């Protein structure tokens, strides 16, 4: 596979049949489907996030061999000393459908439970970094010391005041310290997994790191995305949380389930509040990274998910 690349990391056009752009990364690099022949394809992935240089190859070499083959195989990659443009060449799963489906999400949780159960003691010095701050960092950012509740609530004018104030107090006083970190995919939104031949496959592992087990669950269930929208309900959320509990704590008690879900609703609400601020800012700036109508739909989805989590939390808390 290295034969199709020139020393500078660029693809030698004379050695491929054609290329098909798939999406643009955060740094502007374009991920492409490469056709070596009309029937032989692979995914060319240049570095799409400058902060993750070398991380995805490290994950492929040091972590993914412990998992079932739920990820695209790494066919080739650039060498730091030989290429000015870091790249990976990955197995091509073909055209993927990234429409939310509860059955697929439930099957995905089976894989998530597996990597959450992996031992991590030998990886504590791993060069891994997540794409977003940890929950305790966001808690400090969202709830500055001494700020009155009315002033805090002004940041989220679309959320009904009656439920917002109580939830804000809970979030301000909760503990989000990372006591039992697990291996996390790190960016498990709807665009990074899909059914392939009846099996769930998981893409884009460059953001793998250690985090709360709620982090992957939040991405699957409640994280909104401008390109990959989904409609969540209280009932579906409950079933997915129950599925994860059954996989990870098969003998859990009703009290343990209530405690786990209470923690999830707090975690999800914290990140949803933070995401609402980011999305609202993207809408105000309107720099064209994502279409404005997509951002508005994302904002609506994030608000709906937050309200549902608040309702579910209050049912347990009361």
- pLDDT of the residue at 82: 61
DSSP 192: G
- Give the residue, 213 or 12, on which the prediction is more confident: 213
Helix (H, G, I), strand (E, B) or coil at 87: strand
At residue 84 the predicted structure's pLDDT band, cuts being 50, 70 and 90, is: low
Please state, for a pLDDT cut of 70, what percent of the chain lies above it: 97
Q: Radius of gyration over alpha carbons of the chain, in Å?
A: 21
What is the architecture of the domain spanning 2-90? Answer: 2-Layer Sandwich (3.30)
The whole-angstrom separation of Cα 63 and Cα 70 is 13
What tens digit of pLDDT does each residue of 14-28 get? 889 999 999 888 777
The whole-angstrom separation of Cα 118 and Cα 67 is 9
Helix (H, G, I), strand (E, B) or coil at 52: helix
- pLDDT of the residue at 83: 58
Determine if residue 104 is left, alpha or beta; phi over 0 gives left, psi from -120 to 50 gives alpha, anything else beta.
Answer: alpha
At residue 318 the predicted structure's pLDDT band, cuts being 50, 70 and 90, is: low
Global pTM value: 0.94
Q: What's the half-sphere exposure (Cβ side, CA atoms, 13 Å) at 268? A: 30
The CA-atom distances, in angstroms, between 105 and each of 38, 55, 67, 177, 224 are 33, 26, 18, 27, 15
pLDDT at 156 over 80: yes
Sequence-separated contacts (24+) of 92-98 with Cβ below 8 Å = 92/33, 92/41, 92/42, 92/43, 93/194, 93/196, 93/201, 94/41, 94/196, 96/194, 96/196, 97/194, 97/195, 98/190, 98/191, 98/194, 98/228
What tens digit of pLDDT does each residue of 250-275 get? 999 999 999 999 999 999 999 999 99
Residues of the chain with CATH 3.90.1200.10: 102-317
102-317 CATH choice from 3.30.70.260, 3.90.1200.10, 1.10.3720.10, 3.30.420.40 = 3.90.1200.10
What tens digit of pLDDT does each residue of 89-102 get? 999 999 999 999 99
Residues of the chain with CATH 3.30.200: 2-90
């Amino acid at each position: 596979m290295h034969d199709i690349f020139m020393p500078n990391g660029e693809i030698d056009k004379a050695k491929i049949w054609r290329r098909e752009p798939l999406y643009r990364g955060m740094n502007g690099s374009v991920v492409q489907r490469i056709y070596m022949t009309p029937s032989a394809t692979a995914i060319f992935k240049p570095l799409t996030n400058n902060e993750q240089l070398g991380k995805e190859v490290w994950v492929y070499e040091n972590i993914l061999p412990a998992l079932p083959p739920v990820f695209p195989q790494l066919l080739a990659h650039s060498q730091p000393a030989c290429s000015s443009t870091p790249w990976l060449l990955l197995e091509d799963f073909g055209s993927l459908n990234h429409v939310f489906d509860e059955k697929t999400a439930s099957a995905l949780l089976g894989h998530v439970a597996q990597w959450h159960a992996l031992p991590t003691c030998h990886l504590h010095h791993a060069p891994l970094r997540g794409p977003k701050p940890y929950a305790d960092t966001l808690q400090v950012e969202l709830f500055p010391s001494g700020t009155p509740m009315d002033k805090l609530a002004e940041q989220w004018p679309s959320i009904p005041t009656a439920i917002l104030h109580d939830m804000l107090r809970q979030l301000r006083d909760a503990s989000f310290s990372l006591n039992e970190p697990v291996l996390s995919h790190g960016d498990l939104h709807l665009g990074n997994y899909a059914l392939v031949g009846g099996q769930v496959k998981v893409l884009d592992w460059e953001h793998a790191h250690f985090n709360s087990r709620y982090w992957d669950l939040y991405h699957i269930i409640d994280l909104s995305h401008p390109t990959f929208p989904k409609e969540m309900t209280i009932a579906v959320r409950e079933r997915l949380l129950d599925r994860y509990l059954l996989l990870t704590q098969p003998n859990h008690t009703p009290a343990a389930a209530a405690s786990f879900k209470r923690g999830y609703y707090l975690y999800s609400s914290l990140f949803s509040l933070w995401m609402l601020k980011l999305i609202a800012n993207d809408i105000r700036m309107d720099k064209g990274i994502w279409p404005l109508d997509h951002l508005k739909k994302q904002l609506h989805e994030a608000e709906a998910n937050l309200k549902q989590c608040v309702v579910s939390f209050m049912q347990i808390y009361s």
